[in-house]
Amino acid sequence: MGEAFSPKDDMLKKRRKYALFGGVTMMYFGSHAILLWRRRSEYRKMNELVPPISYEEFEEKYLLTGKKSIAGQLFSQKPDVRFYFPDGAQTLESRIVESQKKLDHPSEIHLEVNSFPSYRELAFITASIFFGACSVALMKF
């Protein structure tokens, strides 16, 4: 017949479970922390290169005059203009639509709101958590 597990073996298995759960939890928070730190350092660097202007100034100089400018393409080049907007993305979109109605020939605007986590960052977080969960699931206790 099989031997019964000793209390020492049970404690070892319990510690292993706690360590694995703690490791997956740290992967979750660690991936968030790394991505948030990276995003903030990029934001500080971009503020030095292209300081943001207020939305009102952006509306006067670019939106209502029809002046064309690029607002940046991911990873390829820095934007010509950046602005900050204190309210949410929906409010920004409605304000832009209102401003466009004042123009005779409104131009097409492609808007990307910089929010955390982005789809790319969310995919990285999900993949790292999935990998950690699979590692725990394949572990023999």
Radius of gyration of the chain (CA): 25
What's the whole-number mean pLDDT along residues 97-108? 79
Q: Domain for residue 7, yes or no?
A: no
5 within domain boundaries:
no
Domains contained in the chain, number: 1
What are the tens digits of pLDDT across the range 38-85? 888 888 888 888 888 888 888 888 777 766 655 555 555 666 777 878
What residue ranges in the chain does DSSP mark as E strands? 53-54, 83-84
What's this model's pTM, rounded to 2 decimal places? 0.56
Query: Residue 56 sits in which domain range?
Result: 12-106+117-138
Where b means 16+ CB within 10 Å and e means fewer, 83-98 reads bebeeeeeebeeebee
Whether 43 is in a domain gets the answer: yes
In a domain, 111, yes or no: no
